[in-house]
Amino acid sequence: MMKPFAFGSWPSPLSAAQVAASGMSSRGTLRGIAVSPEGVVWHQVLTSEAGRSQLFRLSADGQPVPLLPAGFSAQTKVHEYGGGDFFLAGATIYFSNNADQRLYRLDPAAEPVGLTPPPADGWELRFADGCPHPEGGWLVTIVEEHTADGHQPENYLAAMGTEPGSAPVRLSAGHDFYSSPRFDPAGQQLCWLTWDHPNLPWDGTDLWVADCADGRLTSEPVHVAGGQSESIYQPSWGPDEKLYFVSDRTGWWNLYRWDGSRIEALAPIEAEVGSPAWVFDSSRYTFLSDGAIALVITQGGFDQLAILEPGRKSPTIIETGLTAFNPVQLRSDGRRRLWFNASSPTQSQALFGLDLDSGAMAKLAQPSQIELTPEQISIPEAIEYPSAAGRPAYALFYPPASDQYTGLPGELPPLVVTIHGGPTSRAVAQLDPELQYFTSRGFAVVDVNHAGSTGYGRPYRESLYGLWGLAEVEDCLHAARYLAGLGRVDDQRLLIRGGSAGGYSSLAALVGTHTFAAAAAYYPVTDIEVLAGETHKFEARYDENLIGPYPEARQLYRERSPISHLDQIRTPLIVFQGTDDKVVTPGQSRMLVDALDQRGLPHAYLEFEGEAHGFTRQETIVRCLEAELSFFGQILGFEPSGGITPVEVRHLEGSRR
């Protein structure tokens, strides 16, 4: 029999330590995948080792074998977000090492060998998204060159040898950003992407092709596709030696093929085959031996695996039961076998291998399985609801879930409104241990895919442009009010939380409103004008699309900055910040907290030495979750279960509802 117990204080089978061990990030702990004839290699973040990034290969008996010795961590800092941290050339692995950002070669049964020069006197080369020449001897890679003069780093496409002492030689320079260099099967042509400020890769990119030989380009680059308002994603050469790529020229990221003179749409659908390239080397399609193409398709907030058979214009969905391919790394060995990271509302993130002929799907690696029964798991409901002016918005709603407890008679659950980062990312339908941490304690959670989110076409993605700080805030407020209006949550116990851009939106939602009882902000943007002057190169002019050109729109920047309206914030707030954050620097959070303290507003502040933009250390994640739960409990007036360490809340007296 279910026991009545106050919502929010239910004893939970899921501890903060279990969440931390599984990987708190929405990307999970499994990252890159690479496949060669020698097998599959994958990239995994070890939260138990301070966020170290290890590479693994399957042994002959199917067991994960770690490849990097102590002191090495495969993680590039190009664009600060990284990705494309390693690549394969047969049995040889090339990887960027986190500590010194040098490119290393790892041969079987050998120690890593540094290929590129070490950093010195403020000068540093960073490497990402490399590709070996099919015949060996040289490779191409993206280089980000940092100097001590304080200027923005320079990004360029480079070639280099594969022996120690190799120096990168520029192949193409002059654009603000480069990505996705790929050789054709014969190694005679090279393709790559570029884009320039103020665009980000999901706004507009250009696809180029040139002849190449012996570590140099032997022809002038040819512009294949793209432009200021067309985003090209994942160029890849097919076995037929034609160039494939994803474009959003119709408003949806769909698959195209270029034969050297003509571009052909392969599968026109109102669904997404691409995604925002926040990191390098994501992959949403791959080639199979019979001429078919495997695809990951996003539609209605859910991911699906599909096969596009030769000569057909409509992909066939493959039923896997998986709904979130995250991060998207769809790989093939060129036959009819696939490898990918995926999860579902009841399945933790895992590395899967799928044989398309037999239908057999094996779980090859799963860093941590959350031990919850089906009754303890909250299954998301996809909702579409009217936002401001009746425009549609989308979200995933998670009701409280327990196999032992229900709310007190007549009681409705508190609601946690969760805002993803980006702001161009999206909420995905996966077993997110962080969300289950709340739902298993009697909270409801709504994960909002507000205006600007990916997965609903380019017009929806661009609907935030010029309206950041307004449109997504309206969508979050309307999500909470919509669910309260349906009688599914308590309108007096609404909470909001988010990180990075989601942290900014959480703060903006508190300005001039009394909707939320408390808020949690992780490394939040507090002053957009300050952000415009101090953030890293990749996002340095992102706010021109989101707000307007600076300094012409300076007044808008000030009006949209939460720090300018602290006198209109009445909501208790907890803030989390890393000292090594280069995206949203610690000064932003410290400035906010100082102002809250001066005003006597109830708040808590936790700063973590050595953490960057997105926490990776297990002890940090545990402390954050327990502190956030403690903070919500102190503000709403309930005692969380589990004996968690309480957080100190300044100016708490008289603030409880």
pLDDT for 614 = 86
Least confident of 37-51, 66-80, 371-385: 37-51
| CA-closest candidate to residue 251, choices 273, 279, 221 | 273
pLDDT number for residue 656: 52
Q: 501-527 burial by CB neighbour count: b if 16+ within 10 A, else e?
A: bbbbbbbbbbbeeebbbbbbbbbbbbb
Write the burial class of residue 262 (CB in 10 Å: 0-12 exposed, 13-18 middle, 19+ buried): exposed
Rounded Cα–Cα distance for residues 40 and 341 (Å): 13
pLDDT(25) > 50:
no
**Percent of the chain scoring above 90 in pLDDT:** 83
End-to-end CA gap in the chain? 31
Which of the four CATH numbers 3.40.50.1820, 1.10.10.10, 1.10.3720.10, 1.20.1250.20 does domain 376-636 have? Answer: 3.40.50.1820
Indicate if the pLDDT at residue 655 is higher than 70: no
For residues 584 and 613, is the Cβ–Cβ distance under 8 A? yes
Structure confidence at residue 84 (pLDDT): 97
Alpha helices in 581-650 (DSSP H): 586-599, 618-636
Question: What mean pLDDT, rounded, does the chain reach?
Answer: 94
271 CB-near residues (< 8 Å, 6+ apart): 252, 297, 298, 299
> Each residue of 519-560: pLDDT tens digit?
999 999 899 988 888 788 999 899 999 999 999 999 999 999
pLDDT score of 23: 60
Position 38 confidence tier, pLDDT thresholds 50, 70, 90: confident
Please report the pLDDT score of residue 12 as a whole number: 95
CA distances from 587 to 521, 524, 525, 531 (A): 15, 11, 10, 10
pLDDT of residue 226: 98
- pLDDT of residue 26 exceeding 70, the answer is no
Asked whether the predicted pLDDT for residue 327 surpasses 90, the reply is: no
47-68 pLDDT, tens digit per residue, is 778 889 999 998 878 889 999 9
CB 314 within 8 A of CB 299: no
pLDDT, tens only, 397-431: 999 999 999 999 999 999 999 999 989 999 999 99
* Cβ 140 vs Cβ 182: under 8 Å: no
Element (H, E) at 172: strand 169-172
**Running DSSP on this structure, what letter comes out for residue 565?**
G
Query: Measured between alpha carbons, how far is 25 from 13 in angstroms, rounded to an integer?
Result: 20
Q: DSSP string spanning 234-253? A: EEEE-TTS-EEEEE-TTSS-
Task: Give the distance, in angstroms, between the CA of residue 178 and the centroid of all CA atoms in the same chain.
Answer: 19
Overall average pLDDT of the 464-487 stretch: 97
Cα–Cα distance between 391 and 163 in angstroms, integer?
57
